[in-house]
Amino acid sequence: MSLKDQITEDMKNAMRAKDTARLGAIRLLLAAIKQREVDDRIVLDDAAVIATVEKMIKQRKDSISQFEKANRDDLVAIEAAEMAILQAYLPAQMSDGEVEAAVAAAVASTGAAGPQDMGKVIGTLKAQLAGKADMGKVSALVKAALAK
């Protein structure tokens, strides 16, 4: 079963259970997936669906930071709940040690010597770690590794 089919099944189950919060978050996700399919005139595979989920999680994080600045705890709670629902569709996240090992291996395999080679290293890591690690943290680790 593809990830998109699993999301659709989860939507049906949320409808049956009358879980409105979960249903709303899943409907937003399916709408984003459909919008991307219509815009690009393709059928999204699991990797593209994961990318869409990551984008939506990033939007939720940005919203949470803005709502916290405005002292809107009610909206922070809603966004955090949606983010938790969306995170269930991401693959298992790698530990910090695993990410550091992957960064070290990528630096060694590309022969990167300095900050100018960051693009090469990130390019190899992006395919390998997509959905499994926060690419912001990966970028910071690569920058630190290349600064040595």
- Whole-angstrom Cα distance, residue 95 to residue 141? 13
Using CA atoms, how far apart are residues 137 and 85, in angstroms rounded to an integer?
22
Do 66 and 36 form a contact (C-beta atoms < 8 A)?
Answer: no
Domain that holds residue 45: 3-87
Over residues 33-45, the mean pLDDT reads 95
Phi-psi map region of 131: left, alpha, beta (phi>0 left; psi -120 to 50 alpha): left
Can you tell me the distance from the alpha carbon of 53 to that of 85, in angstroms, rounded to the nearest whole number?
A: 10
11 and 63 in a single domain? The answer is yes
Of 66, 87, 108, the last residue of a domain is 87
Q: Per the structure, how many domains does the chain have?
A: 2
* Domain shared by 67 and 131, yes or no: no
For 65-97, how does the pLDDT look when each residue is reduced to its tens digit (9 = 90+)? 999 999 999 999 999 999 999 999 998 888 888
For the whole model, what pTM was predicted?
0.80
Note the pLDDT tens digit of each residue in 100-138: 898 888 888 888 878 888 888 888 888 888 778 888 888
Let me know whether 105 and 78 are in one domain: no
* Shared-domain flag, residues 82 and 121: no
